[in-house]
Structure formats: structure tokens, C-alpha cells
Structure 1
Amino acid sequence: MSKALPTRSENYSEWYNELVKRADLAENSAVRGCMVIKPYGYSIWEKMQRALDDMFKETGHSNAYFPLFIPKSYLSKEASHVEGFAKECAVVTHYRLKNDPDGKGVIVDPDAKLEEELIVRPTSETVIWSTYKNWIQSYRDLPLLINQWANVVRWEMRTRLFLRTTEFLWQEGHTAHSTSGEAIAETEQMLNIYAQFAEEWMALPVLKGIKSANERFAGAVETYCIEALMQDGKALQTGTSHFLGQNFATAFDVKFQDKDGKLEYVWGTSWGVSTRLMGALIMAHSDDSGLVLPPKLAPIQVVIVPIYKNEEQLAQISEKADEIKKQLKKLGVSVKFDNNDAYKPGYKFAEYELKGVPVRLAMGARDLENGTVEVARRDTKTKETVSLEGIALYITDLLDNIQESIYNKALAFREENTFRVDTFEEFNSVLDSKGGFILAHWDGTPETEEKIKEETKATIRCIPLNAEEESGVCIYSGKPSFRRVVFARAY
């Protein structure tokens, strides 16, 4: 706690890395590229899980679990899918170890080679669609709405905690439908659920859109996404929902008999969010003093810190704190009373500021005499002295206000850092000096998109949903364009 965090303005990347570690969210593991999510960080992820899981179940989805290992032959059945993931796959080739004859530990037993190698899942479309072949025979079996919470492995050379690790946690939904229209409606519904979760729970404003062909999920007909803007002006893809068409149904021969007795291939979707949401939460809201957590996702929403000179004062404060805790818990608020005498109040204030606890109550003997308490809010760092009468309802209203305030601040930042440009020169100038979301005309060709990426490291984050048509010319090629798309440098 004694050493200050690096500032965002000095070194944003170092600030992020240090904050993740010092706030006890996660740390690098002994396995290169992987992370250990610590209890405080995992409790935030659990809150995310619960909220999303409830939203999935309200829309008719059920949870299941599928194998971690995928036969190598499965990945080759959908050509674009295997091409998209081939370079990221971890492969299991043997099933046994044995003692090294030289006495140097253990070695892979060369006689235990698998007949067919197994891929540690980078995503589960193939193993799930191979299973769906057995589950779906008739239109009565549809729609099939399945989600799984799992881990996946995508071999990464450059990793960063939460944002890009070799192994990460996520949920992946996989659904099957009798018509194209149903599947597209499902894809859009899940995109809207992700956007609702981001905005209402994470206090994170997002853009909803469609990915360009170059950025589309491998094996999808269309990829929908939500994109958020981080404080350093870079974009972060925070969720995707894919319309798979009949690609995987065809690859795995998943057919159903319709009401007329005719055999048809089913239509599919897949959609997912991951622990990358944790990275978004940190980078969108936090400051140079530590985390700023939206109350809905804070493991501890209120902390009560006693200030006392002797055991008698502590006993009196503890009695009142216990009363406040009970009132708040009845209202669904998580509260911690920190009476640990190993640390002084100043140290505790700094610790809970670092960890982003939304509301801090400081209570001393004089406060008890006056029937008041000092209330500090993390987002604005403001303090006020409040009457203990009706304190529970005051705090619940304050938490709602903080949630809304954090969202509005992030929204204002996004609006201030969204720019319309009409020339490539202007595009480069804004990109290098400000970053942010850049609305610019594009001629719709993958070639132009790739050239812009090569020259600027900016990608098309999305083609906004319901974007108004606007005649113009592509900033790069000068060819006709009928709408603007969103460019940004991204994580």
C-alpha cells in the first residue's frame, strides 16, 4: 500500500498490470501465459456469472457441460473454423508418462501415443455439434438452447492478465433452430442481453454492431459484437454472438424432420463472453488510486471502519455497526465491518480505495454521540457526514446513484472520444493524437480494410446496427461508400 500505483498518463499498461496484482484480482501462474484468479477477483467474476446465468435462463436456455478434449478430426470438418483456430491449438499426443531411465524425473512414454490426437478446446462448436447429431431428429427437438460455463485454451505468445491469457474462463452458448429467421433472432437476442449486462451491471456503455468479413468468427455467416472504449482510447471487444447458418449442421450432418416429413439441416448460433470482461471493468472505470467498481459487481459494497481509542469505544461502535449491517443485509447489500486491530484506519482507507469498495463508513466515538457517520464514496472520493437515522435507505440510494454516475462518466468519455473523419490524413491524425472510436467511410472491401490495418494498426471494430445510410467516399481508396463504420486500435 505504501508505493503508489503508476499513473495512467505515464504508463497505462504498467498501471493496469500493477492494479490487477495489487488489488488482489489475479497474478501470473507458474504455467507460462496462464493466470491465477485470486479470491477477490473471482468473487467479481462470480457476480458476473450469476447475473448472466439468470438472464440466460430467463430466455429459456439451460446449462450443460461438454468435454475439454476434441478429436483432431472434428476440427477439420468445417474448413474456415479449423483455419481460424489452427495456430492457437494445444494438442495432446500421448496419454502416459514413465520414469526417466536416467533417473531425471519423468518422460513421455513413447509407447503411449494416441491413435488420434486430442485438441484442448479453443471453443466447442465441433464437439457440441457432433453431440447435437444424436439429440436432434425432429422439429419437436427444436429449438435446442444450451449454454456451458467452461475454460478454453488458445495458445498465446504475448499475454496480459484477463485480457489475453492462454487459458481463460467463459461461457459459450450453442443453439439449434428450425429456420434461419429463428437463428438470426436468437443471435440478436443474445447480443442484446450482453449489451444490457454491460450497461446495467458493468456500467459500461457499448456499441452494438456487425463484424466485417475479415473480423468475423471462423465458421460464422455473421458475427455480431459489442465494443467498449477504454480510458487509453483503445477499443475492447466485450462480447460476440454468431449466426452460424447451416455450416456446422452440414459439417456434422445434423438434420431434423420438419412437419411435412422432409429432412432439413438445422440452423445454428453460438455466443460468448469471457473473463476479458474483468479487464474491461478495470480499464473503463478505475483511476490512479485503484479500482472503481460499479456497486452491482462489487464483492463488498459497503465497508465500515471503526475509529477508537480503547476497547470500550470499540464495543460501542461494534454494536452500532452490527445494527447497520443487519439493516443493509436485509436490503441485499454486502457489508464488511473491519475491526482488525493490526492496521490503522488510514491504512484501511487506502486498501479499500485500492480495491474499489463503493462506499466507506468511518465511525468514531464522537459520531456515536452525535448520531452521525462519515460516508465516503469511491467514485468521486467525496465525503459527507450523515445522520444514522435512516442510514440504510440512504446508502441503498447512494449505491444506485454511484452505479448510474459511473455509467454516465464512461458514456461521456466515449462521446468525447468519438470522432467523424473524412480523409485518411485526418484519420491518422486523430488516431495518433487522441485514439477513440473513429467513424469513417469504407468501401466495403477486405483489401482496403487490410491495408488500413497494416498502415495504422486500426481495425474495423463494427458496422453499427441500424446505422443510417450516408453517401460518401472511402477514406483510403476514394471509392463510393454508403455508410460509416467504427475504426479503432484495439486490445
Structure 2
Amino acid sequence: MAKQTNDFTEWYIQTILKAELMSYSPVKGSMIFRPDGYELWEHIQEEFNKFLRSEGIRNAYFPMLIPQSFFMKEADHIEGFAPELPWVTEVGNEKLEEPLALRPTSETMIGSAFSDWINSYRDLPYEINQWANVFRWEKKTLPFLRTSEFLWQEGHTAHANEEDARIRTMSVLEEYARLCEEFLAIPVYKGQKTPSERFAGAVDTYSIEAMMQDGKAVQAGTSHYLGTKFADAFDITYLTKENQHTHVHTTSWGASTRLIGSLIMTHGDENGLVFPPTVAPTQIVLMPVGPWKKNPAILEKLSEIFASLKNKGYRVRLDDTDNSPGYKFNEWELKGACVRIECGPRDLENNHAMVKVRDLADKEAVDFADLEGYVEAQLELMTPRLLEKAQLRNQENEYLEIETLADLKAHIEKSQAEDKVPGFVLIGWDGSEETEAKIKEETGFTTRNIPFNPPVEKTVDLISGKPAKHTVWIARAY
């Protein structure tokens, strides 16, 4: 298998294929989620649905096909998505009266529905979410991170005023950050997108950005304040307490199966996948070792432990296949099982099992009587430990002292010469699209976001030397 240090992207592709998270589809640019890969998404869904329920936001579902005329109602929206839109133009031998797009996102379809459903201030706020597939015909794809069809959640809300809409926009961004850091152990950078990077049709877009082990960025979630743009386009109005008709203020926000790619690229190692127990398809794997078939008591003991752990709600497997122990160790490390419990004749004799935690180097001998308590403690410690490790790695790959384009180019050259990652670079930006475009053209770096609380404030634009209006994170991105 490819080494992370030699070719990170190839390591990633080989790992997710060998670990059976996905397979390639016959349709170029799309992929098949195998059970372990889809289960990761299910656990993310379960966690985010807790937030939705706590906020009183209910799940709904909207059609995949969107009339062309809907897109034409919001000019920025259609301009932003037009290059990526697949269209349905005929059924059988009959041409459709109006082309239908496979949804890239649902603001237009939901805007149309909101215009019917919202009539009075008593209807507000109106807040829904849907779990769906969306289509954006990508030219360059990478499984989980960028595919022509992917899965996501998209929330859509309507509010009586800007203040309430902005509160919702930011509350969701905070939840995305919590989901990534506390649940997936992925540290993120919160901030506002630059105008050229914001969502098509949004007034303001906010994002969480994650740094992968190779120093590249992944946009892990976005939350948008849409103002009254879609309300104007779709005539979403309500009657105020003063009997005045006025437009609502809307938001939308989404996170996708890109989180799975981020999870793998944040925690994986040369042996394969490393998952926090919160999301791992297999939290615990038990396996007999040594000449266990000659001693039925070994499998009986492991079966007893298996039943007890399963009864307590753990995602646990018992591997009693006749593959060699070495093969099974490698297979379950590759698949990211959090804890491995081994038992052989000598272990049974000594009334203990050998326990290996996926992200720790050494095995531990643990008495059977203490086993469940030990495993529970290790699973609780693992997620924050993975987060801390990733946070420290991020800090090592943050560069705060780069002031000019020449500095940036020298940094990139030095990183390549020393086989290091160029990471995230904090720069000053004068607010112009010209300087932003120049950075991308010269270095391949793009603006990630304008951080809410930058570690330092930058005063001079990287390109123009003019006073900086913003301090911005830049990086190469997936």
C-alpha cells in the first residue's frame, strides 16, 4: 500500500478501497458507499439530528428535479451553479416542456414551498432540514471529498428579521464546529468566506475549515445568511402584527459526506484507518489467538465477553475466522477498529486478555474482571486524545510570519525541499478580488476564510502592499 509520506492522495484512495468503505461506480465521478462507509454517515446523521431535535427543526424531503425557471429567478444562484448542473430534457422519446435540473442544492425548490406555507408572523420562524443526495458535475473527483453525486444535509429557515436569521446562521456554524471537534475529533477554523468564495446567492457565507495531514484544506461545513434575496425571488412574505406584508429573511446551511473524507485524512496512519469511537463502525473487535480451536473454552469466554459488550450498546465484532492472527490484526487496524481484545490459551490460564487500543503503541494485559471498565475508559479517552493530536499537528503547520508573495513562494519551495506540508498561512488582504486571484494564480493557494479570532492581526496586503482590510487564512484545498 502507498505510504502517506510518499503520496498522501494515493494512500487515501488505496486505504478506503482496501478497508471497504467504498467502490467506484460505473458512472464517472460517482461512488458506491459500502456498509462501513455508509455507517459512518449514519452516525454523523444521528449526532446532527440530536441538535435539530433540540432546536425544534424537523426533517422533510423535497423532489430531486427542479424546474429551470426556478433557477432563473435568482441571478447569482444560476450563475454560480450553471457549469455544474446536469439537466433532464426528455422522457422516453418525448422532450419535456421545461428542462429539469438534478438538484445542486434546494434553495429554489424550498423557496417556492415557503411562499405557500408562510403567511403570517405566527408562522415564523419556519425551520426545516433535509437529508438528500445532490449533483454537481465535478471535473476532478476524489471519493467522499469531491464527487458528482454526494450526500448531505441542508437546512433552510425563514425569519421575521435579519437579527433572528443571523442568530440561526451562527448557531448552526457553532454546531458544525462542535460536531467536528467533539464528535469527529477534527479541529476546525471558523470564519467568514470572502465574497468570491461565498455561496451563490448568499449575502454572507461562514465556514469551518479543516486541515488534513498533508496540509491541504477541506471546507467541512458552511452556513449562509441569504437576506431577502430568495424571499424577493419567490415572493416569500408574511403579514406582520401591524398588518403589513413584508419579506422574510432566510438562511441555509449544509454539511456533506465530505466529513468522512476529512475524518480519514485527519486521523489515518500508515496502517490504515483510525476512527474516534463516537463514529467507528467497529468500536471493539474480539479475536481468539494461538491454537484456540483445540481449546473451546477460549471461544466460549470471548463469546461471553462479546454478548456482554453488545448488550451494553457497543459496536462489537467477534472474529473467529481461520485467518492467521497477523492477518486479522492488520485487517482490523486497516478498518479502524478502536480496541482489539485477544485471548489465547496462556491468557485464559492467567485469567486475562490482551488489549490493544488503535492509536496507542503497546498492548495491555487486563484481567477479565476489569476488562469492561478498562475498555469503557479507553473508548472515552480516545476521541479527545485524537483531537489533541490533530490540534498539535495543525499548530505545527500554521504559518503566521509570511508578509509578501515572495515570502509565500519561498515558504512553498522550502516546504517542498524539506518534504514538509505548506499548511495554513495567515496573510493580510486588501479586500480586492484581484489580489485574491493573483495568490491563486501564482501559488495555488486559495482563501479559506476570514477567521473570527485570528492568532495575529495582519496589517499589510500580501500582494499589493496596501493596508490590509482583513486577516485571512489561505491554503491549498481539496
Normalization by structure 2: what TM-score?
0.96
Cα 1:260–1:289 change in 2 (3 A) is same
Match of 1:388 in 2: 368
Letter in 1 for 2:291: K
The amino acid that maps onto 2:56 is G
The equivalences for 1:17-416 within 5 A come to 17-96=13-92, 109=93, 112-309=94-291, 311-313=293-295, 315-341=296-322, 343-416=323-396
Tell me the CA shift for residue 469 of structure 1.
8.0
In 1, Cα distance between the equivalents of 2:363 and 2:29? Answer: 41
Q: Residues 375 and 383 of structure 1 are in contact (CA less than 8 Å); yes or no, is this contact kept in structure 2?
A: yes
Stretches of structure 2 that go unaligned for 5 or more consecutive residues are: 416-420
CA contact (8 A) 1:89 1:120 kept: yes
Q: Is 1:425 matched up with 2:406?
A: yes
The alpha-carbon deviation at position 331 of structure 1 amounts to 3.6
The answer to whether the 8 A contact 2:216-2:477 is kept is: yes
Distance 1:468 1:403 in 2: 25
Contact 1:133 1:252 in 2 (8 A): yes
Gaps of 5+ in 1: 97-108
1:13 correspondence with 2:36: no
Deviates most, 319-328 or 173-182 = 319-328
User: Per-residue displacement from partner, 1:284-320 (whole Å, max 9, x unpaired)?
Assistant: 110111001111110110000102425451x312222
Structure-2 residue corresponding to 1:105: none
Equivalent residue number for residue 442 of structure 1: 429
- Separation in 1 of the partners of 2:173 and 2:364? 40
| Structure-1-length-normalised TM-score | 0.94
* Pair 1:469–1:347, CA change in 2 (3 A): closer
> How far, CA to CA, are the matches of 1:168 and 1:468 in structure 2?
34
Name the counterpart of 1:489: 476
Greater mean alpha carbon deviation, residues 425-434 or residues 23-32: 425-434
In structure 2, C-alpha distance between the alignment counterparts of 1:38 and 1:233, rounded to whole Å: 28
Alpha-carbon distance in structure 2 between the residues aligned to 1:484 and 1:123: 30
- State the one-letter code of the partner of 1:428: K
Separation in structure 2 between the aligned mates of residue 44 and residue 393 of structure 1, nearest angstrom:
25
Cα deviation digits, residues 149-199 of structure 1 (max 9, x gap): 000011112111111111111110001000100000000000011000000
Report the residue type matching 1:181 in the other structure.
Answer: E
Question: Contact 2:292/2:344 (CA < 8 Å) preserved in 1?
Answer: no
- Residues 19 and 335, structure 2, Cα contact 8 Å, conserved in 1: yes
Give, in angstroms, the shift of residue 475 of structure 1.
1.4
Deviations 1:370-410 (A, max 9, x none): 11111111112321111112211110100111112111110
Q: Deviation per CA, 1:213-272, whole angstroms, max 9, x where unpaired?
A: 010000000001000000111011000000000000000000001111111100000000
CA contact (8 A) 1:225 1:462 kept: yes
Give the letter for the 2:228 counterpart.
Q
Preserved CA contact (<8 Å) 2:292 2:299: no
Supply the distance in 2 between the matched residues of 1:258 and 1:43 (Cα, whole angstroms).
45
- 2: CA distance, partners of 1:257 / 1:381: 64
Distance 1:471 1:17 in 2: 38
SS of the equivalent of 2:105 reads coil
Q: In structure 2, the residue corresponding to 1:67 is in which secondary structure?
A: coil
Equivalent pair of 2:165/2:225 in contact (CA under 8 Å): yes
Secondary structure in structure 2 of the residue aligned to 1:117: strand
Contact 2:431 2:470 in 1 (8 A): no
String of CA shifts for 1:402-438, please: whole Å, max 9, x gaps.
Answer: 1121111100000000011122221222234131111
Among all aligned residue pairs of Structure 1 and Structure 2, give the percentage whose two residues are the same amino acid. Answer: 48
- For residues 448-482 of structure 1, give each alpha carbon's deviation from its aligned partner in whole angstroms, at most 9, with x where no partner exists: 11111111111110000144783621111000015
Q: How far did residue 326 of structure 1 move?
A: 3.3
Q: Distance in 2 between matches of 1:290 and 1:34?
A: 23
Count of residue pairs brought into register by the alignment: 471
What one-letter code is carried by the residue in structure 2 that aligns with 1:77?
K
Would the alpha carbon gap of residues 146 and 426 (structure 1) be closer, same or farther in structure 2, given more than 3 Å must change? same
Root-mean-square deviation (CA, aligned residues, Å) is 1.3
Determine if contact 2:292/2:345 at 8 Å carries over to the other structure. no
Equivalent position amino acid for 2:317 in 1: K
Distance 1:489 1:21 in 2: 25
Give the equivalent residue in structure 1 for 2:418: none
CA deviation after TM superposition for structure 1 residue 330, in Å: 4.2
The question of whether the paired residues in 1 share the 8 Å contact of 2:131 and 2:154 is answered with: yes
DSSP 3-state at the match of 2:144: coil
Give 1:69's aligned amino acid: L
Once residues 67 and 488 of structure 1 are traced to their aligned partners in structure 2, the CA distance between those partners, rounded to angstroms, is 36
TM superposition shift of 1:332: 2.9
